[in-house]
Amino acid sequence: MKKLLSLILAVMMLLPLMSAFSLNAATSGSCGASLNWTLSGSTLTISGSGAMNNYSYFEKAPWYDSRASIKKVVIADGVTTVGNYAFYQCSALTDIDFPSSGLTYIGDEAIRECDSLVTLTLPEGLETIGLIAIAYNPKLESVYIPDSVSRIRNMAFAQCTALKEIDYPDSCTEVEGYIFSGCTAIEKVTLHEGITKIGLGAFEVCESLTSINLPTTLLSIRSSAFAYCKSLTSITVPESVYSMETDIFSNCPKLTVGCYEGSYAQTYCEKYSVAYELVAAHEHSYTRKMTTLPGCVTEGEITYTCECGDSYTEPYPAIGSHAWTDWTVTKEATETEDGEQQRTCRRNCGAVETEIIPAFGTPEPELCVSADGPNITISGMSDVKDVFIALGDYDTYGDVKANAVVRLTPAKLNSAAEYTYTLREGGYYTVLVRYNDGTQTFLYQQITVTEPVYAADGLQLTVSNLENVKVIRTAYGTYTTVSAIKRAEGARAFTAKHDILGADSYMVQYRKNGTVTVAVQYNDGYTDIYTYEVVQKVPTMVQEGNTVTFGDLDGLYNIRYAKGEWSTSSEIKKAPGSQALKASAIDENGYIKVTLPTAGTYTFCVQYSDESYNYYTVVVE
């Protein structure tokens, strides 16, 4: 009793030291020549490049003292191995993130006794799983093993008592000893063709396993491979097996082994008193499938597969020629550089054919004529002597010269390849291009311009069709150019921006009789010059006693009159007894008659809608 009390006291004295050690546990460090580890919260991260150090039962991983707090492990890209005992007894661990590629080895007992681990997905590219690597994980229900794994060492998944299903990787040729020993919940195991050996106690005490298909490539089964599989009812041993050790099926009370007549398995069962039944000899019946399509120059492959799993392949001849697509230009040819075009095989065999597109050199300019409103453009000129432009359709030099609107001399052309000239009017034009070598070319072009429309009304001139107009200029006198109008005394200008304001028509008001010139300039360069004789509207007037009769009243606005002598319409309007007669007062004969009531002097103003004002003084005796 005294010894027991002493032992308890010693343990109690050590507890504070153990707690202090745990509290001071490291949170980062090195775990390989080029690897580091960090522990942040409950996440352990391994990063860097290369292999992890191997640890042991006596020399634990540097994070071992914090193992109870680790819930997640992140192994970064670049890590190539998981060392022995790496995550041994990490009892809270539920999640391991492996690198997407590059990890080839999981060491001995690396993920052993991780009591909280439920699922595990091993990474593609993994090649080896070490001794007891993922064993004694009581809650592990499912694990994915990629086909890249070529070796799973002894006891790798032993005593994973919740594991229910295993799909053994294609690359493995042996099920090593005790790999699934004690996996009491396992119900389904898939073994692929290519496995030749089942090791010692490989499926021992798999109490929930009811049946298993053994591959036809199997050659040997070692002792106790299926011992204590108490739910196992059927298993067929292939004819290929030639070595079977003792106690393979010991304590399998429900099992009847399927054997082929005369096989090694039949002899074994008879020797060791194992219940068996003969199965009919299998005759292969193959289905044919094209597993690799033939290429243009590469052979294909046909696979023949029997339901038993046996298969073989045969080559299928190559097609022997390419099926080309249309040419696609990959580089355009220029004047000085070759281009390139390619075509590929439609069968995706990878064949590519390339062809050179020769450089096309400097092209000869093509002589042509085009128009934009009043602007005529001659393009593609080279070694030109001069150009004549004539209004009309001509085909001889003499006719063109006689009717020429302009001759573009060498000085004007200045050796340019293109020249634009603005014409004064629309119509059908002939363009004659003469070359220095004595040859000549006739070209023809219709010129369509926006022509203004003029409507005269006495002292007013209304200009219409003003879309895209720039300015209207006018001045008294006769002129032939815009510049002459601008220089004339009293010249006026009405711009699109300040006066016309987008309207299709504009009225110009004049105040006196005389000849006026109007220039309408459009934004495309076209100008129309119009001469107009301004004539004020004047009525006829006849006085007979105290009656005054007015005629020629088309466009009359009103007639105002009042007793007295006045000089303006405004004065008449303000005078006592002022009267106003509208155009509605014109009688059926086109006259307005006014009878003055008393003797005296009267002033009349006859005003027209064009703002023509005519004043008359009438004396009544």
Q: Tell me which residue has tokens 């001889």.
A: 396
Give me the pLDDT at residue 3, please.
43
Closest CA to 168 of 137, 197, 201: 197
Residues in the chain: 621
- The helix/strand/coil state of 37 is strand
| 432 and 397 Cβ atoms separated by less than 8 Å | yes
Closest CA to 352 of 328, 318, 378: 328
- Tell me how far apart the alpha carbons of residues 133 and 378 are, in angstroms, rounded to a whole number: 88
Q: Tell me which residue has tokens 């004529």.
A: 369
Residues of the chain with pLDDT under 70: 1-24, 282, 308-309, 362-363
- Tell me how far apart the alpha carbons of residues 507 and 181 are, in angstroms, rounded to a whole number: 111
Element (H, E) at 454: strand 453-457
CA atoms within a 13 Å half-sphere pointing along the CA-CB vector of 473: 22
Give me the pLDDT at residue 11, please.
40
150 CB burial (10 A radius; 0-12, 13-18, 19+): middle
β-strand pairing of 151-152 with 165-167: unpaired
Could you give the C-alpha distances from 586 to 424, 457, 555, 557, in angstroms and in order? 46, 20, 11, 11
Amino acid 537 reads K
Q: What is the largest CA-CA distance in the chain?
A: 170
- Tell me how far apart the alpha carbons of residues 86 and 108 are, in angstroms, rounded to a whole number: 9
- Tell me how far apart the alpha carbons of residues 301 and 316 are, in angstroms, rounded to a whole number: 5
Beta bridge partners of residue 97, listed in sequence order = 74
- Tell me how far apart the alpha carbons of residues 530 and 456 are, in angstroms, rounded to a whole number: 12
Cα 91 from chain centroid? 50
Closest CA to 551 of 562, 542, 561, 560: 542
Q: Which domains does the chain have, with CATH numbers?
A: 81-279 (3.80.10.10), 286-316 (no CATH), 328-357 (no CATH), 368-437 (no CATH), 453-534 (2.60.40), 540-620 (2.60.40)
Tens digits of per-residue pLDDT, 556-601? 999 999 999 999 999 999 999 999 999 999 999 999 999 999 999 9
- Tell me how far apart the alpha carbons of residues 264 and 274 are, in angstroms, rounded to a whole number: 13
- Tell me how far apart the alpha carbons of residues 479 and 486 are, in angstroms, rounded to a whole number: 10
Give me the pLDDT at residue 308, please.
67
| 153 and 177 Cβ atoms separated by less than 8 Å | no
CA atoms within a 13 Å half-sphere pointing along the CA-CB vector of 335: 3
Element (H, E) at 472: strand 469-476
| 113 and 67 Cβ atoms separated by less than 8 Å | no
Structure token digits, residue 7: 């032992």
Give me the pLDDT at residue 291, please.
84
| 143 and 166 Cβ atoms separated by less than 8 Å | yes
What's the CA dihedral at 299, 304, 310, 314 to 10 degrees?
-30
Structure token digits, residue 251: 């304590």
| 592 and 574 Cβ atoms separated by less than 8 Å | no
- Tell me how far apart the alpha carbons of residues 470 and 214 are, in angstroms, rounded to a whole number: 98
| 204 and 225 Cβ atoms separated by less than 8 Å | yes
What phi, psi does 438 have (nearest 5°)? Answer: 95, -10
Q: Indicate the pTM of the whole model.
A: 0.48
Q: How many CB atoms lie within 10 A of CB 352?
A: 11
- Tell me how far apart the alpha carbons of residues 304 and 365 are, in angstroms, rounded to a whole number: 69
